[in-house]
Amino acid sequence: QRAVAGLLRTGLLVAIILALIGPSELEERPKLTSTVFVIDVSDSMSDETLDRARGALEDIWRGRGRHEVRAVTYGASAREIRPPKSANDPWPDLERLAGEGGQASDTEGALALSLSLLPDDRLGRIVLVTDGRDTRGDMLAMATNAARFGVRVHPLSVARDTPASEL
């Protein structure tokens, strides 16, 4: 009996070791991403800054490959900007909101809209372009909420001296 028990223990130990070091058949596919640019177009943002933000958006759009790139602009309210039909077409101008719409910044609302645009089967990212002068909502609370869902909010500086590596 001792010999049989010892043989069984040895066999079990060998099986466990082989299972731990054996070849695995895990297929690792690269995860596709979905990136939403969230761009403040309120009156406090300069035209030059908006032009640079649009340039950064177009650069990312052209190099996207199979990844998804979308855009949301906002002031007092947020709206999605439809992407161009092809990679060679330019993005539409980042239009300011008229009247009171341009006098406010609701980053929380814009982040909420951008989260709703991210599909579940892709790695979600948000690129935020703003001067940080919110007049409505709670940007930090919404960014924290995004993090709970695994979505990182990346601030993008569009100052003149922004290194290409930051984009």
Token pair, residue 161, equals 């001296």
Is pLDDT of 22 > 50?
Answer: yes
Q: How confident is the model at residue 166 (pLDDT cuts 50, 70, 90)?
A: very low
Interhelix angle 107-117/139-148, nearest 10 degrees: 20
- 70 pairs with which residues across the strands? 36
Round to the nearest angstrom and report the end-to-end CA distance of the chain. Answer: 69
**Tens of pLDDT, residues 149-158:** 899 999 887 6
Q: How confident is the model at residue 88 (pLDDT cuts 50, 70, 90)?
A: confident
pLDDT of residue 163: 47
- Angstrom distance (rounded) from CA 146 to CA 111: 8
pLDDT of residue 159: 57
**Angle at CA of residue 47, ends 70 and 165, nearest 5°:** 55
Is pLDDT of 100 > 60?
Answer: yes
Find the range with the poorest average confidence among 78-92, 98-112, 151-165: 151-165
Find the range with the poorest average confidence among 10-14, 72-76, 84-88: 10-14
9 near 74, Cβ under 8 Å? no
Find the range with the poorest average confidence among 19-28, 56-65, 86-95, 109-118: 19-28
Where are any strands of DSSP class E within 30-157? 33-40, 68-74, 78-81, 123-129, 152-155
Mean pLDDT, range 12-31, rounded to an integer: 62
